[in-house]
Structure 1
Amino acid sequence: MAREHLRHVSVVGASAAGLSAAHGLRRRGFEGPITVFGDEPEAACQRPALSKRFLTAGDLQPDDIRMRAATEDVRVELGVRATGLDLAKRCLLLTDKDSGRHYTHSVDGLVIATGAAPRTLPMRTPPGVHVLRTVADAVAFRAELVHEPRVVIVGAGFVGSEVASSCRSLGLDVTLVEAAATPMERVLGPEVGEALVGLHRDHGTRLHLGAGVAGFTGDDRVTGVRLAGGEVVPADVVMVGVGARPATDWLHGSGLPVEDGVLCGADLAVADRIVAAGDVARWPHHSDGTLVRVEHWENALRQADAAAATLLAAGGQAAAFAETTMFWSDQYDCKLQLIGHPRPGDLVTVAEGDLTQRRCAVVYSRSGRTTGALLVGSPHRLRAYREAVRSAAPVGGARPAPDDPALSNAS
Structure 2
Amino acid sequence: MLTDYTEEAVCKVDDLKDGELKDVRVGDTDVLLARVDGQYYALYPKCTHYQAPLSKGMLHGNRLVCPWHNACFDVRNGHRLEAPALNGLPTHEVRIEGDQVMVRLTTDKESMENPMATPDPANTTTCVIIGAGGAGAFAAEAMREGGFTGNILMLTSSDHAPYDRPNCSKDYLQDKAPDEWMPLRSPDFYADYGIDIRTGQRVTSLDPQTKEIEVSGGEGQATERIAYDKALICSGGKPNKLPVPGVDLKGVQVLRSLTDSQQLRELGKEGKRIVIIGSSFIGLEAAMSLRKLGSSVDVVGMEAVPFEKILGERVGKVIQGWHEKEGITFHLGRNVKALEGSDTVEAVVLDNGERLAADAVLLGLGVKPNTDFVKGIDREKDGSLRADETLQIADGLFVAGDIATYPTADGTQRIEHWKVAGQQGYTAGMNMAGNGVVYNEVPFFWSNQQGKRINYIGHAEKIDDVIFDGNPEQDDSFLAFYVQDGNVKAVAGLKRDKEIIAIRELMQADKLPSVETIRQGVDWKAELGK
What's the TM-score once normalised by structure 2's chain length? 0.70
> Which one has the largest radius of gyration?
2
Alignment-derived partner of residue 397 in structure 2: 274
Q: Residue 241 of structure 1 is aligned with which of 357, 361, 364?
A: 364
TM superposition shift of 1:59 = 6.5
Alignment-derived partner of residue 12 in structure 1: 130
Matched, 1:287 2:405: no
TM superposition shift of 1:267 = 2.0
The percent identity for this pair of structures is: 30
Matched, 1:201 2:324: yes
Could you tell me how far apart the structure 1 residues matched to 2:294 and 2:211 are?
Answer: 54
Specify the code of the residue in structure 2 equivalent to 1:356.
E
What's the TM-score once normalised by structure 1's chain length? 0.89
Alignment-derived partner of residue 356 in structure 1: 473
Alignment-derived partner of residue 401 in structure 1: 523
Could you tell me how far apart the structure 2 residues matched to 1:306 and 1:122 are?
Answer: 37
Kindly provide the CA deviation profile for residues 113-168 of structure 1, in whole angstroms up to 9, marking residues without a partner as x: 11111222123222122110011111111111121112211111100111111122
Matched, 1:365 2:486: no
Alignment-derived partner of residue 326 in structure 1: 444
Specify the code of the residue in structure 2 equivalent to 1:311.
M
Is the contact made by 2:401 and 2:420 (CA closer than 8 Å) also made in structure 1?
Answer: yes
> Structure 1: which 5+ residue stretches go unaligned?
405-411
Distance 1:400 1:384, change over 3 A: farther
Is the contact made by 1:8 and 1:34 (CA closer than 8 Å) also made in structure 2?
Answer: yes
SS of alignment partner, residue 440 of structure 2 = coil
Matched, 1:66 2:188: no
TM superposition shift of 1:326 = 1.5
Alignment-derived partner of residue 26 in structure 1: 144
Specify the code of the residue in structure 2 equivalent to 1:26.
R
Larger RCO of the pair (alpha carbons < 8 Å, separation 6+): 1
Is the contact made by 2:153 and 2:197 (CA closer than 8 Å) also made in structure 1?
Answer: yes
Q: Which moved more, 1:127-136 or 1:340-349?
A: 340-349
Matched, 1:95 2:216: yes
Distance 1:145 1:20, change over 3 A: same
TM superposition shift of 1:6 = 9.8
Alignment-derived partner of residue 334 in structure 2: 211
Distance 1:58 1:328, change over 3 A: closer
Is the contact made by 1:214 and 1:226 (CA closer than 8 Å) also made in structure 2?
Answer: yes
Could you tell me how far apart the structure 1 residues matched to 2:409 and 2:483 are?
Answer: 11
Kindly provide the CA deviation profile for residues 226-256 of structure 1, in whole angstroms up to 9, marking residues without a partner as x: 11121111222221101011111111xx112
Kindly provide the CA deviation profile for residues 5-41 of structure 1, in whole angstroms up to 9, marking residues without a partner as x: 9932111112221121011010010111111111112
Could you tell me how far apart the structure 2 residues matched to 1:22 and 1:213 are?
Answer: 42
TM superposition shift of 1:266 = 2.4
> Structure 2: which 5+ residue stretches go unaligned?
1-122
Distance 1:245 1:355, change over 3 A: same
Alignment-derived partner of residue 301 in structure 1: 422
Is the contact made by 1:9 and 1:110 (CA closer than 8 Å) also made in structure 2?
Answer: yes
Is the contact made by 2:299 and 2:328 (CA closer than 8 Å) also made in structure 1?
Answer: yes
How many equivalent residue pairs? 391
Is the contact made by 2:462 and 2:484 (CA closer than 8 Å) also made in structure 1?
Answer: no
Q: Which moved more, 1:166-175 or 1:325-334?
A: 166-175
Is the contact made by 2:402 and 2:421 (CA closer than 8 Å) also made in structure 1?
Answer: yes
RMSD of the alignment, in Å?
2.1
1:374-389 matched pairs, under 5 angstroms: 374-389=492-507
Could you tell me how far apart the structure 1 residues matched to 2:333 and 2:364 are?
Answer: 16
Q: Residue 122 of structure 1 is aligned with which of 224, 231, 243?
A: 243
SS of alignment partner, residue 427 of structure 2 = helix
Distance 1:58 1:371, change over 3 A: closer
SS of alignment partner, residue 304 of structure 1 = helix
Matched, 1:163 2:286: yes
Distance 1:333 1:37, change over 3 A: closer
Could you tell me how far apart the structure 2 residues matched to 1:377 and 1:6 are?
Answer: 50
Q: Which moved more, 1:149-158 or 1:338-347?
A: 338-347
Could you tell me how far apart the structure 2 residues matched to 1:150 and 1:342 are?
Answer: 36
SS of alignment partner, residue 275 of structure 2 = strand
Q: Which moved more, 1:367-376 or 1:175-184?
A: 367-376
SS of alignment partner, residue 356 of structure 1 = coil
Kindly provide the CA deviation profile for residues 197-226 of structure 1, in whole angstroms up to 9, marking residues without a partner as x: 222222221111100111112112222111
SS of alignment partner, residue 517 of structure 2 = coil
Is the contact made by 2:213 and 2:225 (CA closer than 8 Å) also made in structure 1?
Answer: yes
Is the contact made by 2:124 and 2:151 (CA closer than 8 Å) also made in structure 1?
Answer: no
Q: Residue 154 of structure 1 is aligned with which of 277, 295, 317?
A: 277
Could you tell me how far apart the structure 2 residues matched to 1:6 and 1:247 are?
Answer: 29
SS of alignment partner, residue 383 of structure 1 = helix
Specify the code of the residue in structure 2 equivalent to 1:232.
R
SS of alignment partner, residue 24 of structure 1 = helix
Distance 1:10 1:344, change over 3 A: same
Could you tell me how far apart the structure 2 residues matched to 1:221 and 1:58 are?
Answer: 29
Matched, 1:224 2:344: no
Could you tell me how far apart the structure 2 residues matched to 1:104 and 1:209 are?
Answer: 48
